Every structure is written in C-alpha cells, then in structure tokens.
Structure 1
Amino acid sequence: MSANDLPTLLSVALLARVGPARDRLREALGQAGATLVLEEDPNTLELQALRDAAPGAVLIALEPAIEDALERLDPVLASPSLTLIFDEAELAARREGWEAQRWARHLVAKLQGHLDVLPPGSEQDGLLQPEPGLPTTPAQLHADAPLEFHVREAFDAAGDVPADGLYPAPETRGEPMSLEEALAALQPPAAAPPAAPPPMAPPPVPLGDHSSWSLVDDDAAAPAAPAPASAPAAPSGDFDTARLSLVELEAERPADGAAAGAVLVLAGIGGPDALRRLLASLPAGLATPVLVHMRLDGGRYGNLVKQMARVSALPVLLAEAEQPVQAGNAYILPDDVGLALRQGGLYFNADAQGVQVGTLPAAHSAVVLLSGADASQVESVLGLAAEGAWVAGQVGEGCYDPTAANAVVAAGMDAGEPPQLAERIVDRWGVAE
C-alpha cells in the first residue's frame, strides 16, 4: 500500500523550528498521507493564525527553545477537540530509513485512533507460492524477544489452569519410581503362603519376689519435692490496665493524608509519548500516587505538567518540598525535589540529588521504567524489587531507548506497553471509593 492509497486523515498543523527535525516530521506526515494545513515555528506563530488554520491535530517537535511559545499558544492547544502529538526534536532529527518508516506508521495509528502499526502486507497469512530454502523457524522469529516475563506469567497462572478430569492428580506426590517398580505395582498381589504354626513357648522361669525391683540405682538420690509456691499478691486497686493490648497497635496515619507508598515512573528520551500513554490509561481516584521523574533540558517541568494534564484523568501537579504525597494525584518531580518517609507517610523534600529509589517503602510501592530511563538506577530498582516492590519495564516499538527497561525485564520483572502497565497498576492498587 502506498501513501496515496491511505485513507484521508485529519488535517495537521506542524509546529517546529526550522531544521532537520522539522524536515523529518514533514516527511513523516507525507508518508502518513496527512493533510498539512500549517507549518510554522511556534516562536513566531500568531495565536489567531493557528486558530484560523482549524487543524484536527497538531504535531509539535518538543525542545526547550519553544516551551514559552507553547504557553502562549495554550488557549488553542488546550481545546479538547484537538489531537496533540508530541515528538522530541532531537529524536526526530536522527530518525532515518526503517526507523522513520516505523514512526510514520505510528503516526498514522495515532491520527486514525487505532493500534495497527504493522507495515503494509503484514495482514496476509503468507505467500501461497513455494520458495527455495528452509522456512524461518519460530526461534529465529523471536531471537531477540525477551521471553522471561512470559515464562514468569505462565508459571504464576499455572495453578489456575483446570485439571484433567480423566486422570485426577494424586493428593500426595512421592519420589519417582523406576520402571520395574511401576510394573510390579500393576501386578495382582500374590497369594500369601500358609501360615506356619507358632513356635512352642519356653516354659516359665520362676523369678521370685519382684515387689522391691526398681529402674534406678539404689544409691541415687531422689529429687526433692518442690516447695509450694507462695500465693501471688492480690492486685492493688490502682492497677493500670489502660495500656494493655492483645495486638500491636497500628501506627497512626498522618492527618494530612500522606500516602504509605507510591508508583515511581522513570523516563528519558522517548519518554513523553510513553508517559502520555501511561497517564491517559490511569483512572481518576487511583488509590496510590504516581510520581514522574524525567530529566528535561532547561528544567521546564511546569510545561510538562500542562502537557500531561491534557490527557490525564488524575490531577497532574508539580511536586513541591515539604508537601505530602497524596493518593489520586500524579506529580512531576523536578531535579531538586526528593522524597522523605515520616510517620509512615511520604513527603517531598528539597534534595539536590533528586528522588532516591531506596526511599520508597517497598511493600507499598512500585517502579516503572519507560523509554530513556537512567540505566544507572537499575541496581537500586532491582534492590527495591528484592524487598517486595513491584517493578516493570516498557517493551515494544515505542520504546526508543530500552536499555534500563530491558535490564529489569531480563532480571525477571514485569513488562508491557504503557497502557498494559497502567492496567496492572490499577489491578494492584484499585480505585478509591
């Protein structure tokens, strides 16, 4: 199927500065068959010009130099009827060849609202004409696929698979027997030989008087009888019973609603799109907070808050020091804001090193590594997993920098596309009533 055969797509406005990134995105829109109604540098674009173009979708090449312009254009970009697609300018400028064609297919899927990102012709079952050579084996098709998480998932679900009713499983399992033992067990029991007559008992021997016999030595001293214990003193009338308890009392929860744990999302290059898909799949009222740490050039985290708030059902807030971390919110973490645990609740604090994974209480927390997550944090993430935290990594074509995510998946952690990971987060924590 060529680009001319593609169905008519939404009219698209391309907002990017002049340069390689803009050229690559224009080519991708052409391959996708989109109708380009506007192509401008957002720094010089007038708000009314964008409104007059009336695009159905806007493709934006993100970089620090245009963040102020996006705030100025926000009255139009914030329209709920507008489809916003973000791409990182640095990533778009490097995209060529097969990778550019793949991104064009993803662009078509986003504009049309479907999940079909396979190349044309992949819907065919296969060629009907024979070809020379050996066919491709399943092992070759999946040579680079991470299979460990599939094996773990199958192992966890094995107990729920219904058993075969024809051969009920034995209640107890013993050691495996040899073939000879198995054949012998199938033979009918042999007839028992006739019992031999009991032997003649010897005549009794006179033992004399045995009334003074004993099983201990005669000269062994018999243990003295214990002295009677003195009667316990009667309780006084002022005995304090207020602090008596049969169970350990639960630690008092902070009055400001600070959560006992959180879901920490780590991302980097290629992360904005993955983060957008993750947050868009989480419901309002999620019974745990979501913390997002993604390094941005220039530290314009306020703009990231606005971008994610457009797609998220959760309130998206900028984390501030000395504020409680509350369930049902998504927080964007600046580089100088970390975490502290006080009285069983999480709080933001000022920390020049940023968020530390080990601060999270493992029993109530999770870490999700999206595209571009910092690989240097993998060791601490796996350490938290060993203490009981749920850890997962992004997989799939949308993961442009899978180094850290692949490392945790290879270590046996969970894996999936961002919407799948969001579904598992909801399954684990649920929605507050």
Structure 2
Amino acid sequence: MTETRRVALLARPGEACERLRAALAEAGGEIVLEADPSTLAAETLRASSPQVVLIALEPSVEVALDRFDSVLGDPSVAVIFDEAELAARRTGWDAARWTRHLRAKLSGSDDVLPPGREPEHDMLPLPGRPPSPGQRDADVPLASFANEAETVAPQVPSEPVVGEPKRASIFGELSLVDDAPVDTTDAAATASNEAADALFKNDLEDLQRRIAAMDFSDAPAAASAPAAVGSAHARGAVLILAGIGGPDAVRQILTALPQTFSLPVLISQRLDGGRYDRLVQQMARATSLPVHLAEAGVVAAGGNIYIVPPELGVAESDNTLRFVANAPLLAGLPASDSAIFLLSGSDPATVDAAMAHAARGALVAGQAPEGCYDGAAPNALIARGGNAGSPADLVQQLLKRWPA
C-alpha cells in the first residue's frame, strides 16, 4: 500500500489554493499545513515536518521563499512548484491530468498515466475524447495502426453485401463520407497504385544500396569523443528544452549534476508569463552550480547554468559560444560536442532539428513519456528513432559522455 505523504501547501488564499487543495485530497496527500507563504514563519513550516512542499508561485510568493531555504533545500523534502495563474484556471481534463501528475510525484513514481492505460504515445484518441498530451502536435506513426487493423480485420463481424468484391483490406472498405460507395472496380486505378508502390519499393532499395556502399573513412570523429582541448571550434553545451510540466524534470537534472560538470547548461523553458528572472531563482535552489539569466554578448562558460529567454540564441565567436540576440538556439550549438534533451512540454517542432544534430554527433534524448505532463515532443522523438529516459537516466548519459 502506498504511504500517505505529509504535504505543506503554500499558496495565497484564492482559486489557485482551493484547486490545489482539492487536487492534493484526490491524489492522496495528507495536508499538514496550508498557509500563505508571504506571512508564514519559517519555524512554522519546519515544525510541520512536511515530506512534500507544494508551492503556488506568483510574484508576491516568489520574493518570500528565501526564508524557507532551510526546508526547501533539505534533500529529504520534495518541492513541487505550480504557477498560481495556471492552477486557478485548470479544469476538467487538464485538472484530472494534473492530479495524476501530482499523485505520481507524491508516490515517487514516474508514471502519470491513468490506471490500466498503456503508454499514451501508443494510443489513438477515442471519438469524443480529447487526445492525450503525447498526441497533441505529434506525428502519429500510422503504419503501426494500419498493420494492427489488418491483423484484427478478419475478426470484425460483418454482413456481406450481394455482389461485394472480396475484402482485401479493412481500409479498402472505409470512407470519410458516410454512406459514400467505394469504387473497387476501377482496374486502371488499381494498376496505377500497384505500379507506384513498385516504383517506391525500387527507389527505396536503390537508396539502401547506395548508403551501404558509401565510404565513411573521412567522416568526423566518433560521437562519443568530446571536442579536444585546444580545438579550433567552441565547445558545445547541454541544451534542455521544456514547457508545461518541465520544471520538475529540469530541477531533478540540475540537482544531480556535480559541481565539476564541464559544459555550460542552457535551459529553454517556455513560460506563459515570461518571468525568466523568477525561474533563475527557482533553479538556483536546486543546484550547487551557478545559475544566470542569459544576456546577449555573454560567453556560455562551462560549469554554469543559463536560463535562456526566447529572444536569445547562441553562436560561435572567437572559439567561444556566446549568447546572441535574435539568433537560433538549437541550430547554433556545435553538434559534435553538445547534448539536447526534450522534456515535458517542449515544442514538437524542434524534434527534426534535434535529430539532425544527433546525426552529426550530438547526444539527443527525451524525457520518458510516462513521466511527462505533456509528452508530445518526447513521443515524436521516439517515433523518429530517438531514445528517452527518466531525468536520472538523462544525467547518467551526460556523465558517461562528459565525465565530471
């Protein structure tokens, strides 16, 4: 039986506090303290002996958190942040999803799926039900569903129609328009489709033969080897892309990084309010490494963490990696000596560019979808052959590639 966790809820009175209180009750948390952090004494929080502290963030709350560092910095206390504005307007399906996420955090599990569900990136939405977070904006691998449909088609009961041609495929019988007849008698169209299929197959086989015959003797050094000291090119960086649900995973990664980690860590976290200075303060509590707000012209120094606003990117300059205004972030990384992590809530549109970097030697991985609040990008990465893991797994990959 799962142990009930003792939770301190720090939130100003209002809709956000009420919704978080209800979510905690449904998720199985025992609320031992509920208080407005702007007026709460640090001794009172410490005396409640919480195992988990849930904080509804807003400007007046953020400035009050410093006095709770002795509790929030305790490694035995799990700290969960939520934006008060988001919490206040979260209803219905989003509220249920957040409750699952919270239940997983309270139980120490990485699985935020509903009971009895398979991983969401392997499922199609049912009619009338919104898609799972892993399906929104992600490319769905239709071939797998087609193969499954072909397998189960003979088991589907049906009433044969007099004169109906032999059923070759379940998809040959479906129409996007109700009651529209399907023309299966056009032999010319059938022959044309078969010819197109044969041509595609020949082209694919030809491409495979050409790839197999290519000479890679002049290819760049193996991906596992970081750039040599004194290289003519700038060293790379670790780029962490995240959005809703991502701060928890980012925090876990930063907490696990040793002080001797050699690469700069760039965090591109999508925020509704755009308060990146607040994110700097939040992440500084999670790590022993220095955390900065990136600024144009500043060099990305190894062993430092940078919160990167959306208007900044990076570029090589004088054998260093600098932050540049109105420049690409992902595309500016030296691929052969960089890592790219796609966490919960990151933009699926970045997956293709990330995989292009992987082909040039970058370490590219996603957060395991079952631990994501919004797994669209990690799902899309997996569909393209990428790998994924828990935040702890991702840190181990980093330290294997770049030992501290």
TM-score class normalised by the smaller sequence: 0.5 to 0.7
Q: Is the 8 A contact 1:105 1:119 kept in 2?
A: no
Q: Report SS of the residue matched to 1:401.
A: coil
C-alpha separation in 2, matches of 1:118 and 1:299: 29
User: CA contact under 8 A between 2:267 and 2:305: conserved in structure 1?
Assistant: yes
User: Tell me, what secondary structure is at the counterpart of 2:34?
Assistant: strand
Matched, 1:380 2:353: yes
1:346, distance to aligned residue in structure 2 (A): 1.0
Letter in 1 for 2:248: D
Distance 1:273 1:327, change over 3 A: same
Query: Could you tell me which of 281, 303, 314 is aligned with 2:256?
Result: 281
The answer as to whether partners of 1:17 and 1:41 remain within 8 angstroms in 2 is yes
Q: Distance in 2 between matches of 1:139 and 1:273?
A: 20
Q: Do the aligned partners of 2:313 and 2:323 also contact (CA within 8 Å) in 1?
A: yes
Q: Which residue of 2 aligns with 1:106?
A: 104
- For residues 159-182 of structure 1, what are the alpha-carbon distances to aligned partners after superposition, in whole Å with 9 as ceiling and x for unaligned? xxxxxxxxxxxxxxxxxxxxxxxx
- Verify the 8 A CA contact 2:112 2:371 in the aligned structure 1: no
Residue of structure 1 in register with 2:197 after alignment: none
What is residue 246 of structure 1 aligned with on the other side? none
Shift in Å at residue 264 of structure 1?
Answer: 0.6
Alignment of 1:306-321 (within 5 A): 306-321=281-296
In structure 2, do the counterparts of structure 1 residues 387 and 331 end up closer, same or farther at CA, with 3 Å as the change threshold? Answer: same
1:343 to 318, 343, 359: 318
Counterpart AA for 2:351: V
Provide the secondary structure at the position in 2 that maps to 1:357. Answer: coil
Secondary structure of 1:314's match? coil
Residue identity opposite 1:39 in structure 2: E
| Matches of 1:49 and 1:400, distance apart in 2 | 32
Q: Kindly tell me: are residues 68 and 321 of structure 1, through their superposed partners in 2, closer, same or farther at Cα, counting changes over 3 Å?
A: same
Which structure dedicates a bigger proportion of its chain to helix? 2
1:369 maps to 2:367: no
Return closer, same or farther for 1:371/1:63 CA change in 2, 3 Å cut-off: farther
CA distance in 2, matches of 1:409, 1:117: 18
**Residue 259 of structure 1 contacts residue 327 of structure 1 at CA under 8 Å; is this kept in 2?**
no
Contact 2:367 2:390 in 1 (8 A): yes
Q: 2:36 aligns with which of 24, 36, 41?
A: 41
The residue correspondences of 1:47-86 to structure 2 (distance < 5 A) are 47=42, 49-51=44-46, 53-64=48-59, 66-71=61-66, 73-74=68-69, 77-78=72-73, 82-86=77-81
Q: Deviations over 1:108-145 (max 9, x none)?
A: 224xxx6687888x8xxxxxxxxxxxxx9x99996579
Change (3 A) 1:45 1:397: same
Shift of 1:273: 0.9
Shift of 1:359: 0.9
Contact 1:252–1:343 (Cα < 8 Å) also in 2: no
RMSD across aligned C-alpha pairs, in angstroms? 3.8
How high is the TM-score relative to the length of structure 1?
0.58
Residue 38 (structure 1) shift: 2.2
Q: CA 1:251–1:343 in structure 2 vs 1: closer, same or farther (change >3 Å)?
A: farther
| Alpha carbons 2:297, 2:322 under 8 Å: kept | yes
SS at match of 2:370: coil
Deviation at 1:418, TM superposition (A): 1.9
- CA 1:383/1:65 → structure 2, altered by over 3 Å: closer, same or farther? farther
Tell me by how many angstroms 1:50 deviates: 3.8
Larger radius of gyration: 1
2:266 corresponds to: 291
**Could you tell me how far 1:266 is from its partner in structure 2?**
0.8
Label 1:425 to 1:299 Cα distance change in 2 as closer, same or farther (>3 A): same
TM-superposed CA distance for 1:388, in Å, is: 3.1
Q: 2:90 aligns with which of 90, 94, 104?
A: 94
CA distance in 2: counterparts of 1:293 and 1:360, whole angstroms: 13
Partner of 2:353: helix, strand, or coil?
Answer: helix
Evaluate the alpha carbon distance shift between residue 48 and residue 377 of structure 1 in structure 2; reply closer, same or farther with a 3 A threshold: same
Distance 1:55 1:388, change over 3 A: closer
Q: Which residue of 1 aligns with 2:129?
A: none
Residue 90 of structure 1 and its aligned partner are, at CA, apart by 5.1
Question: How much has 1:288 moved relative to structure 2?
Answer: 2.1
The number of aligned residues is 302
CA apart distance, 1:259: 5.3
Q: Is the 8 A contact 1:67 1:300 kept in 2?
A: no
Greater relative contact order: 1 or 2 (C-alpha under 8 angstroms, separation 6 or more)? 2
Q: Which amino acid aligns with 2:364?
A: V
In 1: Cα distance, 2:112 partner to 2:275 partner: 32
Tell me which of 13, 17, 25 is aligned to 2:8.
Answer: 13
Residues 251/75 of structure 1: CA separation in 2 closer, same or farther (3 Å cut): closer
Give matches, 1:351-366, under 5 Å: 351=325, 353=326, 355-366=328-339
**How far 1:13 moved relative to its partner?**
1.6
Change (3 A) 1:315 1:408: same
SS at match of 1:102: helix
* Aligned match of 2:276: 301
Name 2:241's counterpart in structure 1. 266
Match of 2:398 in 1: 425
> Does the CA-based 8 Å contact 1:14-1:36 persist in structure 2?
yes
Per-residue CA deviation, residues 17-53 of structure 1 (Å, 9 max, x unaligned), is 3444323321233245443232223344455654554
Report the Cα offset of residue 60 of structure 1. 0.7
Aligned to 1:170: none
Deviations 1:352-386 (A, max 9, x none): x3652111111111211111112343343333334
Greater Cα offset, 138-147 or 335-344: 138-147
2: CA distance, partners of 1:101 / 1:401 = 13
1:193-232 pair list within 5 angstroms = none
State the SS of the aligned residue for 1:306: helix
Give identity over the alignment, percent: 48
The residue type equivalent to 1:14 in the other structure is L
Matched letter for residue 344 of structure 1: N
Amino acid at match of 1:62: L
Deviation at 1:387, TM superposition (A): 3.1
Q: Which amino acid aligns with 1:395?
A: A
1:189 matched residue in structure 2: none
| Distance in 2 between residues matched to 1:59 and 1:427, nearest whole Å | 33
